[in-house]
Amino acid sequence: MKIALAQLNYHIGNFEQNLSKIKTAISKAKAEEVDLVVFAELAVCGYPPRDFLEFNDFIKQCKDSIKSIAEECDGIAVIVGSPSINPNLEGKNLYNSAYFLENKKVHTICNKSLLPNYDVFDEYRYFEPAVSFKTIDFKGYRIALTICEDLWNVDDDPMYPISPMNIIIREKPDMIINIAASPFSYSHPEERENVLCKNAVKYKLPIFYLNHVGAQTELLFDGGSMVINNKGGIVDEMNYFEEDFRIYDAKNVLENSVLPTHEFNKILLEDSVKFPRIYDALVMGIRSYFNKLGFKKAVLGSSGGIDSAVVLALAVEALGKENVRAVLMPSIFSSETSVSDALELGKNLSVACDFIPINSIYDSTVKTLHPFFNNLNFDLTEENIQARIRGFLLMALSNKFGYILLNTSNKSELAVGYGTLYGDMCGGLSVIGDVYKTEVFQLANYINRNKEIIPQNILAKDPSAELRPDQKDSDSLPDYDILDKILFQYIENRKGPKEIIALGYEETLVRKILKMVNTNEYKRHQTPPILRVSPKAFGTGRRLPIVAKYLS
């Protein structure tokens, strides 16, 4: 039996395009005399559809898509993900389902049992979990058809009271096919591989695993679909961050004797792997966001600092130099080197730079407000006015020409509130909002791996917002090397203050930083979507109340 895995970039709610991609892959599979072609979880509608699932018309279009795909199933079978209607009055109205289509009709529907409801996932909001399971007989093989999370309950501390495969294995399947929508984080490929290989070893079955690829707003899907033999050895791994289509002979996979090349539960991620992944993920995320919204051009403020430099380089790679507009907006506090560094960066990337000094606008604004400021001294208010003028100018250009404004705030700044609402925090997409400041420098070094794109002076100088004379980030924040480590323990590892202090960090500093994080939740609620590259990003995967008192 020949099995094809079609790793595709779907678009949520774009039924016509999704259907076209699926049918094209089926035609390709037919030409290669494939017996079974497999598509991903919720492929017909895209993942995650979220509250679109509450619209009857949306579900009808899913159902119509399945009928249309079934018509292509003459001489070939198809596995494809789609919502299906729960026929029972009890429980939620929908299942997250895998359809097995054969002979131009729906042969079997297998429903997802384990519905993730943590981090970015919210499936139990919409779907009823399956409580019965069955295998599918096809071409002399018995298939255990599962959906993503159904294979993720193999840890020593299981999240769910059941594991579907523990039940399905009683029917003595020959293989597992798992269709998934597994979002990217820089450490997730190893975690995913670990889980799948554990399943293969536990059940002594090969696994055909298929993932999404592409971005859906802030969620990035990296592909990396794979075939694993019954010993936990990887037979083949498909491309990352791009569409792919591969054909496998089931008999060869069943007989494959490749042994595992890694130790289970031991996940070590080197920087040499981490930052190329983050780079590819962010480029894909920008490109998908623009393509799926129908936009082509981006605008951003180029300050001569490391954050805007990295975002500009990523945008050029994703969209092309002709589609990116960089704007320099120096004030009286901007150094000459910042301006020259930004211009050199623009030259290196072949991006034209607009030059809009803000001194006159700033002076006029302060003069207008002077009668109402009661002769109070220069403070954070005047600093924020500069940032908001820049945001206003960039949004005006975005509005006039239909650009998307790329936000350049990093994760460290967003964590502690080191940014100005409606100023440098505005934009349509936050590119590096899930990348700590220390990681931004490492990402810049990766961008410069073959030649100098980001000028060395940008990498070497002390970070500064340049909103007052001789300002440095270190005036308001701890050293980023320390700050980022404490933030990581609190945000990614969810450690409390006592646990972090026990790691050797000074108590006053820890409590100050954690207070800054929690008291600035209101700012993060107003940021643009943040491309998710870490295991715990700000946004849908981290939901905290604004008015809470904890650690604030």
Confidence (pLDDT) at 267: 62
Instruction: Summarize pLDDT for 237-281 with one digit per residue, the tens.
Output: 999 999 999 999 999 999 998 888 766 665 667 889 999 999 999
The domain containing residue 512 runs over which residues?
A: 272-524
Rounded to 10 degrees, the C-alpha dihedral 14/17/22/27 comes to: 160
* Residue 531 placed within a domain: no
* Residue 539 placed within a domain: no
End-to-end CA, the chain: 61
Mark whether 252 and 277 lie in a shared domain.
Answer: no
Mark whether 287 and 261 lie in a shared domain.
Answer: no
* Residue 533 placed within a domain: no
User: What mean pLDDT is predicted for residues 437-461?
Assistant: 97
* Residue 543 placed within a domain: no
Q: 336, exposed or middle or buried, with CB in 10 Å at 0-12, 13-18, 19+?
A: exposed
DSSP 307-376: HHHHHHHHHHHHH-GGGEEEEE---TT--HHHHHHHHHHHHHHT--EEE---HHHHHHHHHHHGGGTTTP
Residues 6 or more apart whose Cβ sits within 8 Å of residue 300: 308, 311, 312, 315, 324, 325, 326, 327, 394, 405, 406, 407, 408, 427
* Residue 62 placed within a domain: yes
Confidence (pLDDT) at 265: 60
Residues 6 or more apart whose Cβ sits within 8 Å of residue 490: 500, 513, 514, 517
* Residue 232 placed within a domain: yes
Tokens 């646990």 sit on residue: 499
Mark whether 41 and 186 lie in a shared domain.
Answer: yes
Instruction: Summarize pLDDT for 306-347 with one digit per residue, the tens.
Output: 999 999 999 999 999 999 999 999 998 888 899 999 999 999
Instruction: Summarize pLDDT for 103-155 with one digit per residue, the tens.
Output: 999 999 999 999 999 999 999 999 999 999 999 999 999 999 999 999 999 98
Q: How confident is the model at residue 552 (pLDDT cuts 50, 70, 90)?
A: confident
Positions annotated as catalytic residues are 41, 112, 148
Distances (CA, A) of 166 to 18, 90, 152, 163: 33, 25, 12, 5
Mark whether 355 and 443 lie in a shared domain.
Answer: yes
| Domain boundary pick from 251, 269, 287 | 269
Confidence (pLDDT) at 269: 79
Instruction: Assign residue 472 a region (left: φ > 0; alpha: ψ between -120 and 50; beta: otherwise).
Output: beta
User: What mean pLDDT is predicted for residues 540-544?
Assistant: 95
- Total count of domains within the chain: 2
Q: Comparing C-alpha atoms, which of 284, 268, 310 is closest to residue 446?
A: 310
Mark whether 285 and 413 lie in a shared domain.
Answer: yes
Mark whether 265 and 409 lie in a shared domain.
Answer: no
Lowest-confidence pick of 88-102, 150-164, 233-247, 279-293 = 150-164
Report the predicted TM-score, pTM, of the whole model to 2 decimal places: 0.95
Distance, in Å, from the CA atom of 478 to the CA atom of 20, rounded to the nearest integer, reads 53
Percent of the chain topping pLDDT 70: 99
| Chain-centre distance for alpha carbon 517 | 22
Distances (CA, A) of 203 to 33, 164, 361: 30, 12, 68
Distance, in Å, from the CA atom of 189 to the CA atom of 493, rounded to the nearest integer, reads 19
Cis preceding linkage at 48, omega within 30: yes
Q: Comparing C-alpha atoms, which of 327, 321, 313, 328 is closest to residue 296?
A: 321
Find the helix or strand (DSSP H, E) in which 143 lies.
strand 141-147
Mark whether 86 and 164 lie in a shared domain.
Answer: yes
- Tell me if 165 sits within 8 A of 151, measured CB to CB: yes
Mark whether 342 and 225 lie in a shared domain.
Answer: no
Cα-based angle 277, 327, 465 (whole degrees, multiple of 5)? 75
* Residue 552 placed within a domain: no
- Residue that wins the pLDDT comparison between 257 and 13: 13
Q: For position 357, which CATH number holds?
A: 3.40.50.620
Confidence (pLDDT) at 156: 83
Q: For position 122, which CATH number holds?
A: 3.60.110.10
Mark whether 66 and 135 lie in a shared domain.
Answer: yes
Mark whether 152 and 296 lie in a shared domain.
Answer: no
* Residue 321 placed within a domain: yes
User: What mean pLDDT is predicted for residues 409-420?
Assistant: 97
Tokens 């009668």 sit on residue: 371
Confidence (pLDDT) at 264: 61
| Domain boundary pick from 246, 269, 292 | 269
Instruction: Assign residue 172 a region (left: φ > 0; alpha: ψ between -120 and 50; beta: otherwise).
Output: left
Mark whether 204 and 321 lie in a shared domain.
Answer: no
Strand pairing of 213-216 and 219-222? antiparallel
Confidence (pLDDT) at 257: 86
Instruction: Summarize pLDDT for 461-520 with one digit per residue, the tens.
Output: 988 877 778 788 878 889 999 999 999 999 999 999 999 999 999 999 999 999 999 999
Confidence (pLDDT) at 259: 81
* Three-class DSSP category at 107: strand
Q: 66, exposed or middle or buried, with CB in 10 Å at 0-12, 13-18, 19+?
A: buried
Q: Work out the mean pLDDT of the chain and round it to a whole number.
A: 96
Mark whether 260 and 401 lie in a shared domain.
Answer: no
The two tokens of residue 298 are 């981006």
- Tell me if 285 sits within 8 A of 220, measured CB to CB: yes
Strands of the sheet containing 353-355, edge to edge, are 353-355, 324-328, 298-301, 404-407, 429-430
| Domain boundary pick from 269, 301, 330 | 269
